[in-house]
Amino acid sequence: MDRRTLLAVVLSVIVITIGFSIQSLLFPPPEVVPTDPTTQPGQTAPQTVSPVTPDSDAPAQPVAAPTGTVYAVARDGLSTTPVVFQSDLIRVTMDPAGATVVSFELLDHMDGESPVDMVFRGADDQRAMTLHFGNHRAPAVTELFEVTRIDGNTFEFRRDFAIAGQENSEFTVIRRYRFRPGEYMFQHDVEIRNRNPGAFIPLNFDGTAYTIGYGPQIGPIFEQLDQRNEFRRFLALQGGRRQNYNRVSANNPQITTERITWAAIAGKYFALIAVTDNRELTAVLAREPRSGLAEGAQLYITRPVIRASAVEDRFQYYVGPKTPEILNRYDNAQDNAWGRSGLNFSQVQESRVLFGWLENILKWILQIIVRFVPNYGIAIIILTILVKAALYPLTHKSYESNARMQAVQPKMAEIRERHKDNQQKQNEEMAKLYKKEGVNPLGGCLPMLAQFPFFLAMYGLFNNHFDLRGAVFIPGWISDLSAPDVLVGFGDFTLPLLGWTALRGLPIIFVGTQLLSTKLTQTPSANQSSGQMKFMQLGLPIIFFFILYNVPSGLLVYWIFSNVLTVGQQYYYNKTRGNRPPPAPKKTGPTRIGPPSGPKKGPRKRS
């Protein structure tokens, strides 16, 4: 292997290192300038589904800003017992304290031995669907509500409140949760009625009436958000286009300033989507820290001031998996129980511009294989065989090119020695030698580089394909092909500097197969030093070991078996070829015009 091949392999390392983040570098999301969370500029009354206006005989009254805090009107005998809704897909636990949600379990998706809970709670009494009078900075309502189960799918929570220091400021808050069988989407109605007929609802905190918050974090459970095995991303759909909010931090919430169709918190496999229907609502996306959580992720929907004596606002939330077949149901009214269409929920999925088309093809092939072989690990091995078969013509040409290069090494060394003081002459003689012997110096490198699009596409496939989540290959070792394998866990200990939390077996096996493959396929050249040889044989596999230590185990299964097939192909080629160099490709010269060559015949003698 000459310097060009060495350069190609080093380039491959660079490609792998930066390939995982190249999409975000090439297509950076638009930046959103944070605004002051206490002000909501340009807000007017929202378009509500069922607004109730004041009586026509009652004089219109201005909306006065409250002079005191909101307090709950005393009420005895309220139950503290949570209520539960369960369907075929979800189990939701609601607490009368604040009319909140303390658990939202997805019954078809497991998080260890329990269903995935989309309310990932910390150490304190944290919950979702909190009500705040004012913006998201205001404290959440924690008073008990009266609970009524209207039917099998609808729960109603009711409580009276008043403004401290204001007479006749009492109002009633009714919160309804409506569910449907077979749906991950639910509807939340917020009805507020002023108990003083004809007066506007006395909620005006700098132009804000109330806020509904979902937090403190969405599931599933994680140890850290490393952007590879798990992440939380904030998104919104504005004008049919996805907007990414990448600047959200603990002290920097992002606030939408334009009308949006929905706002979302997207994890690797699951998402929370709050539908705003382009109403004049404000979405606040935050990473406020919460006790007992490595990182918080919250989504708030803020309602502007209410210029009516009664109002009923309807909000819809999707809380479920990011699978296309489920998300796409909300593009057609006939496909979902809520009759929603055109929501374009598929935008919460990760889009990969680089080799995304190849990833989709491989995903389609893998899904076909799984129909006949239910084990995804075996299916990945079969897919590897198919990919190697598709690349075999290139691989075979690579073997032949390396063999020709090895055969002409003595002649190349002679040219270097003869013209060691004249680099230009040396290059000219080398070019003539390559042409005469039918050798392409890059013939052994390009087929190798051609495999990297498959590597990047495989990485995207194994890292994002939903069905690989929790797919077991070898029980007790490779229990999730979408995550790194665990041979021996370190418990609470983390290896300093490297940050490793477990000893992994697949990276070690990968290094072994890579060393064997490199040793078998390496063809030393006359100008290659022993240092270069050692780097190729030992250095590169070790570098790959650290790069790939925490990648999904499915990717390493693919690459390990790919190495095994490469070793087999190289061994078979070497055995069948023996010590003979492959014949040079046939030369095709220009067509000769004129009489055929040969001895010239003289005039014919007469007898």
Domains and CATH numbers, the chain: 3-17+354-577 (no CATH), 81-348 (2.70.98.90)
Task: Answer yes or no: are the C-beta atoms of 305 and 208 closer than 8 Å.
Answer: yes
Q: Which of 3, 28, 147 is nearest to 85 (CA)?
A: 147
For residue 184, pLDDT beyond 70: yes
Number of alpha helices (DSSP H) and beta strands (DSSP E) in the chain: 14, 21
pLDDT score recorded for residue 333: 97
pLDDT in tens, 507-527: 999 999 988 887 776 655 544
Contact 159, 145 (CB under 8 A): yes
Exposed/middle/buried for 500, CB within 10 Å: 0-12, 13-18, 19+?
A: middle
Looking at residue 320, its pLDDT comes to 98
Q: What's residue 214's pLDDT?
A: 98
Highest mean pLDDT among 94-103, 160-169, 421-430: 94-103
Q: What is the mean pLDDT of residues 48-75?
A: 52
Dihedrals phi, psi of 329, to nearest 5 degrees: -65, -25
* 246 pLDDT above the threshold of 80: yes
Q: What is the mean pLDDT of the chain?
A: 82
Q: Write out pLDDT tens, residues 377-420.
A: 999 999 999 999 988 887 777 777 777 777 777 887 888 788 87
26-35, 169-178, 201-210, 434-443, range with the lowest pLDDT: 26-35
Q: In Å, what is the CA distance from 53 to each residue of 57, 159, 197, 199, 308? A: 11, 21, 11, 10, 5
Q: Let me know: does 100 contact 129? Beta carbons within 8 Å.
A: yes
Using an 8 Å Cβ cutoff, are 540 and 8 in contact?
no
pLDDT confidence band for 584 (50 / 70 / 90):
low
> 43 pLDDT exceeds 70?
no
Percent of all residues in the chain with a pLDDT value above 90, rounded to a whole number: 50
In this prediction, residue 60 has a pLDDT band, given cuts at 50, 70 and 90, of very low
Q: Which residue has the higher pLDDT, 11 or 127?
A: 127
- Higher-confidence residue: 462 or 39? 462
